[in-house]
């Protein structure tokens, strides 16, 4: 079955404290975005990418594609004001039945093993959501203060979140809600169950300057 990765790089990187969006910051002399695209394309030779970028940075994204990759395997589209809108814009370019990966561009340390594991689970069950256990104690904020939660019952969600197109594309036809922080929440709101798979601790999301330093060490 066709494999398509929607790589979402629509953010502006406010928390990173830089004018340049974090997906374009250099890591070992290459943009973060390079590592993400490279891993997906090398994992499956029959996988294509839909890259979702802020409108002001599509030219920069195209330069990265032209410099490093087979441009026939990567298509560009413009992101929206929210993650939901950005993913929806990417999905609009998919017209064939496929297994669809949705991945944060700034999770640039994603491994081929995790990509394959998610794909195999999605083929079997229709979805695959990578998660890792929480290593910290967690609390739920309430009107009266906060309540402790059982850490053993808490998992942290990663990407790629992977779905059969017959599940994901119809799910994004529903109206956007503030609670939609990822694709799993959209699919669940559509009335479908999702399957969890084991994620990876190294599959970090580059959000703050410290994350960039950690990623450099992990690549080394």
**Sorting pLDDT into bands at 50, 70 and 90, what band is 17?**
low
Tell me how far apart the alpha carbons of residues 23 and 46 are, in angstroms, rounded to a whole number.
Answer: 24
∠ CA 140-145-146, nearest 5°, is 25
Q: What is the mean pLDDT of residues 102-125?
A: 98
pLDDT cut 90: percent of the chain above it: 90
**Measuring CA to CA, which residue among 199, 162, 16, 191 is closest to residue 87?**
162
CA 110 distance to own-chain centroid:
10
Beta bridge mates, 100: 4, 163
Report CA-CA distances (Å) from 77 to 67, 101, 109, 132.
18, 16, 23, 31
Write the DSSP symbol of residue 200: -
How confident is the model over 130-155, as pLDDT tens digits?
999 999 999 999 999 999 999 999 99
The pLDDT mean for the chain works out to 94
Which backbone phi and psi does 89 adopt, to 5 degrees? -60, -40
pLDDT at 184 over 80: yes
Q: What is the mean pLDDT of residues 109-137?
A: 97
Residue keyed to tokens 């599940």: 167
- What's the predicted TM-score (pTM) here? 0.95
Q: What is the mean pLDDT of residues 68-75?
A: 96
Q: Give, for 196, the enclosing helix (H) or strand (E).
A: strand 196-198
pLDDT (0 to 100) of residue 13 = 59
């Amino acid at each position: 079955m066709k494999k398509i990765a929607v790589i979402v790089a629509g953010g502006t990187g406010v928390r990173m404290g830089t004018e340049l969006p974090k997906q374009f910051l250099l890591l070992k002399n290459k943009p973060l975005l390079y590592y993400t695209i490279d891993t997906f394309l090398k994992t499956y030779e029959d996988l294509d990418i839909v890259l979702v970028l802020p409108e002001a940075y599509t030219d920069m994204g195209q330069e990265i594609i032209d410099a490093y990759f087979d441009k026939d395997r990567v298509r560009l589209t413009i992101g929206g004001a929210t993650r939901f809108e950005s993913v929806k814009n990417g999905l609009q370019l998919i017209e064939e039945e496929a297994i669809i990966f949705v991945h944060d561009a700034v999770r640039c340390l994603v491994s081929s093993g995790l990509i394959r594991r998610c794909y195999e689970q999605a083929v079997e069950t229709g979805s695959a959501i990578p998660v890792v256990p929480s290593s910290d104690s967690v609390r739920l904020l309430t009107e009266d203060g906060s309540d402790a939660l059982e850490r053993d019952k808490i998992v942290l969600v990663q990407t790629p979140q992977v779905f059969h197109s017959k599940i994901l594309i119809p799910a994004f036809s529903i109206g956007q809600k503030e609670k939609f922080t990822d694709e799993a929440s959209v699919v669940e709101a559509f009335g479908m169950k999702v399957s969890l798979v084991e994620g990876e601790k190294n599959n970090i999301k580059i959000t703050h300057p410290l994350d960039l330093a950690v990623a450099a060490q992990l690549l080394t």
